[in-house]
Amino acid sequence: MTAGLCHSDVGVMEGVIPTPHGLPLILGHEASGVITALGPDVTGWAIGDAVVVADSIEDTPGGTHDGAYAEYFLATAARLVKLPEGMDWGQAAAATDAGLAAYTGVVVRGQVKAGDRVGIVGLGGLGLIGARIAVVLGATVYGVEPKDEPWAIAREQGVTEIVHDVSELAGADLDVIIDFAGFGTTTTGALEAVKRFGRVVLVGLGRTEFPFASFEFVMRNIDLLGASSQGKPEHLAAVIDMIASGDLKIAAAEVGFDEIPAGLERLKQGTVTGRLYATLPE
């Protein structure tokens, strides 16, 4: 079993992100593993199946009930996706939340298609995945990232141009911009960089409240949409298919299961590029 580490776990521990379950709670919502038991009336699954869980705010290990930072976890059968033979466990775990959240922002809510000019704001763990998904779809991708470290990775993923601040794209008239940072200024800057009748999708929660000037937003008929994982297995299956085909590889590094607290501290300090995952010792 492999569990991905996520910055939202830090938010839960700090009391910034509420959980329906309340505390205490075993975290770990990027959950993958092998089925060891089936509940009554569960059909279509067998003990020994390798699976991942499609997260949603209504139903997820590590959110609505105890999660995958443990030897066993419970999952709803209807939210499972079976893994292809030989799928890398680290990639599978990262796909469940980071991959699914990026896919939701780019494909489900952003409606990115071939030929679009797309801005990706924030080239962290989610943003890099979102950028690659947009490239795979045939879009021309412009990245925004204040730190220089992820730039080389982004270029390897097919990002055409990278700037330090979204304000540098003002007037670029991009078709779609997905804001994986969500610091307020990143979203308002995106509104200035997207075209008339364009679309801005907010995924990141760097700030939960921010003001913005509404005149240009209204006059230019811009769509501003929120995006979070909807828990639909078909969305997660699409991400898994991209990974299995080789089109998508999530930058992810392994830590020991007993190193999860240290890994979460690294996420808190902002010293992680890509994703982290922990594998339970056999």
Cβ distance 254 to 4 under 8 Å? no
Q: pLDDT tens-digit profile of 239-276?
A: 999 999 999 998 889 999 999 999 999 999 988 877 89
Backbone φ and ψ for 141, nearest 5 degrees, come out as -115, 130
Q: Which of 86, 49, 79, 51 is nearest to 65 (CA)?
A: 79
Q: What is the pTM of this model?
A: 0.90
DSSP string covering 69-90, please?
Answer: SSS-----GGGEEEPPTT--HH
Banded model confidence at residue 282, pLDDT cuts 50, 70, 90: low
Mean local confidence (pLDDT), 58-80: 92
pLDDT over 90, % of the chain: 76
* Kind of pairing between the strands at 174-179 and 140-144: unpaired
Q: What's the half-sphere exposure (Cβ side, CA atoms, 13 Å) at 255?
A: 20
Q: Which pLDDT band, with edges at 50, 70 and 90, does 57 fall under?
A: confident
Domains in the chain, CATH or no CATH each: 2-97+230-279 (3.90.180.10), 111-226 (3.40.50.720)
- As a whole number of angstroms, the distance between CA 202 and CA 184 comes to 10
214-248 pLDDT, tens digit each: 998 999 999 999 998 888 999 999 999 999 999 99
